[in-house]
Amino acid sequence: MPNWAEGTIKLRGRAENIASALKYMLVNETVTVEEEYDGELLKMTTTQSYFYIKGTMRAFIETNTLEFWLEQDFLIVELQNFKQAWSAIPEDYQEISSKFDVDIKIFTFEMGMEFTQEIEISKGNIIKDNCDDKFSNYEWDVPFSKLGG
């Protein structure tokens, strides 16, 4: 049984690119997609308790419903309840960033191994991949220190 790095994943870019990236990442045979209000609301539901992120090694969004308001041309969308086994793998997200021209930022916490991780990908290139495990007291030093594990 793996430990889980837990946190958030953000996508930044043009609304239509984000919508396409989300559909690519999250849609499979258990996911339905509804587009409402002239494409401004993207609603996804799954019959499972999570959305698997396609192309990754055991990465999930732990919820059964996601809603995104895409009413602006350029925006940032944050998905809470992100989890990936052991740690987030930056290479898993490079193709998504490149293919859909979206920037991706991931921040995770893992209380079992006591580390935080920050990843940033732009135009398919990893521009930040920091893993910090140098804490004098993880529980005190780190916000959300009970996430992951």
Tell me, what's the pLDDT at 106?
A: 98
Is the model's pLDDT at 6 over the cut of 80? yes
CATH of domain 4-141: 3.30.70.1270
HSE (CB half, 13 Å, CA atoms) of 117? 26
Tell me, what's the pLDDT at 35?
A: 77
pLDDT in tens, 52-75: 999 999 999 999 999 999 889 999
Output the six-digit token pair for 82: 């992100």
Tell me, what's the pLDDT at 37?
A: 58
pLDDT in tens, 12-57: 999 999 999 999 999 999 999 887 756 689 999 999 999 999 999 9
Is the model's pLDDT at 93 over the cut of 90? yes
pLDDT in tens, 109-144: 999 999 999 999 999 999 999 999 999 999 999 999
Cβ neighbours for 137, distance < 8 A, ≥ 6 positions apart? none
Tell me, what's the pLDDT at 38?
A: 65
pLDDT grade, residue 2 (50/70/90)? confident
3-class state of residue 96 by DSSP: helix
Task: Name the residue with higher pLDDT: 40 or 148.
Answer: 148
Cβ neighbours for 5, distance < 8 A, ≥ 6 positions apart? 83, 84, 85, 86, 87, 88, 108, 109, 110, 117, 148
Output the six-digit token pair for 146: 């009970």
Q: Tell me how far CA of residue 45 lies from CA of 49, 50, 76, in angstroms.
A: 10, 9, 21
Q: DSSP letters of 19-88?
A: HHHHHHHH-STTEEEEEETTTTEEEEEESSSSEE-TTSSSEEE--SEEEEE--SSEEEEEEEEEEEESS-
Domain ranges of the chain: 4-141
